[in-house]
Amino acid sequence: MTRNVCEEILETLIDAGVTQIFGVTGDALNPLVDAIRRDGRLRWIGVRHEETAAYAATAYSQITGKLGVCAGTVGPGAMHLLNGLYNAHKEGASVLAITGQVPRADAGTGFFQEVNLTQVFSEVCVFQQTITSPEQMPRLIQQAIQNALSAPGVARIEIPSDMTALPVPSEAMSHPIFTPEYEVTPCEAGIAKAAEILNAAKKPTIFVGSGCTGARDELLELAKVMKAPIVHALKGHDVMEADNPYWVGLTGMIGTDAGYHAIEQCDTLLMLGTDFPYRAFYPTGVPIVQVDIRGENLGKRAPVAHGLIGHIKPTLKSLIPKLTGSADAGHLESIQKRRQKWDAKMDKKSSLDTHHVPLHPQAVARAISDAADDDAIFVVDVGECTVWAARFLRLRAGQRMIGSFNHGSLGAALPAAIGAQSVDRKRQVIALCGDGGFGMSMQDFVTAARYDWPLTVVVFNNQTLGFVKLEMEATGYPEFGDATDLVNPDFAKYAEICGGVGFSIREPHEVAPAIKSALASDKPCIIDAFVNPGELVMPPTIGPAQVWGFSISKIKEILG
């Protein structure tokens, strides 16, 4: 049977293991959606904004390791995908975007909704092509999928509206989709050089990122041999369980005291699978050994004494037998003591025992962490809620944490949670959002209700863009409420209007019951948590410039 262009696209997607497409239809995409209806093997998930579709496809890829697919129609419909696709690009997710285009005969005439999408998407895509002839099929869609999977990254296929129903004359080029299944291990000489540097260290520290996912056992063995603390970047938060004694915390502006000093006081740093961007938090004057599968990351953030290109798990398997374990355990023990003190301090901050109104956001974050299932997925938005997640989610083995950690896009959590929940409605998915971030994408809470997905959204409601306000104060700008203050609806009632369940919590005794009910519900839930807007987000160490800027901003407010 001869297939048309849309039917050929579907057949190839199904062969690649795709089961669903997130999108908003219209115009050029209508024949594709009708083909999905007639075929019945692939699910179209209709969302309320194309940006949601792109974020959801990204999260689907992050959780499954498979191809996520999103779609937007001609012009604005395609462009609405762009921010979510930038997130996929910077998070290294495999995503295919299917976009519409005006009829070929009208291209270049300034036709209604015509946009040069190739130019618009040029930075975000590892592959993009326009289907201008049915003879290009199925080869073009196969190339797009394989590029997205192997990079990994974003691929885009553009379909002019007059191409969709044309028959594909031949399937001679059709072949199975080849997914990347390989491990790269550095050469023996490179491993030996790394071991030589590490064996000379007396106070080594290991610094890990998301590239270490799946290498937990090798990482722990390495730490034991080296007698080294393990510090993680934000994207590496779920690499290892929080209660492991070698796992001492996060570094950076939202890091922990132990994580900061483990790097600051080391005499050798081993970087594994991280592209942590903040140069101020790297040590100076000490040798750095870096391992990354992407060669362009080596030495990009700090001067590296030795760089290795390879996947973390096989690299560590080759490296560990060459290590002598000659380091002094004093460095590790000192950092572990710092971590114990920090943990005690954080436990006190996150306690629900005190009658504090508005609520401490730390207490809400810790309560949701304690109540979550052992395989729960936390999806974190951008802003102060990132800090509460980084410091107060005590992740267990099997739990995941994802977010827009490289792109840093406000409003990403709810759409990404929708994508994560679509994978398995029986697995807990918990979105942690500020009221500013949730307000950017809240229209798609109704999508969760529509598809009967029982995700839980925790809104840290402080009626302000808290992190932006803190940034302004730290650099000496006075408070300007029109820029940072928010006027919010009743989020709990909004949940009910959409077909979900809503909880408003203001008192400490309300926190645990609301979380328990939300996580047990078979409907999507919003927990509207009224938290203290004056809660300070303090870095692990404070410089004179930050103190001065904060003081100046307060003086300006008083005088202004």
Catalytic residues: 50, 112-113, 382, 467
Specify the amino acid at residue 355.
H
Q: Is 243 helix (H, G, I), strand (E, B) or coil?
A: coil
Radius of gyration (Cα) for the chain, nearest Å?
A: 25
Q: What share of the chain is helix, strand, coil (3-state, %, to 5)?
A: 45, 15, 40
Q: Please tell me the distance from the alpha carbon of residue 108 to that of residue 102, in angstroms, as a whole number.
A: 10
The phi, psi pair for 448, rounded to 5°, reads -60, -40
Strand partners, 430: 378, 456
CB 457 within 8 A of CB 527: yes
Strand partners, 82: none
* Sequential DSSP letters for 372-399: S-TT-EEEE-SSHHHHHHHHH----TT-
Which tokens belong to 298? 């080596």
C-alpha neighbours within 13 Å on the C-beta side of residue 27:
19
The phi, psi pair for 309, rounded to 5°, reads -100, 120
Give how far Cα 527 sits from Cα of 265, 363, 442, Å: 41, 14, 13
Q: How far is CA 429 from the centre of its chain?
A: 14
Q: Please tell me the distance from the alpha carbon of residue 507 to that of residue 37, in angstroms, as a whole number.
A: 48
Q: Please tell me the distance from the alpha carbon of residue 486 to that of residue 437, in angstroms, as a whole number.
A: 11
CB 446 within 8 A of CB 498: yes
330 exposed, middle or buried (CB, 10 Å; 0-12, 13-18, 19+)?
exposed
Could you report how far apart the first and last alpha carbons of the chain are, in Å? 76
Strand partners, 109: none
SS (H, E, C) 250-317: ECCCCCCHHHHHHHHCCCEEEEECCCCCCHHHCCCCCCEEEEECCHHHCCCCCCCCEEEECCHHHHHH
User: Which run of H or of E encompasses 70?
Assistant: strand 68-72
| Count of C-beta atoms within a 10 Å radius of residue 114 | 16
**294-307 burial, b if ≥16 CB within 10 A, otherwise e?**
eeebbeebbebebb
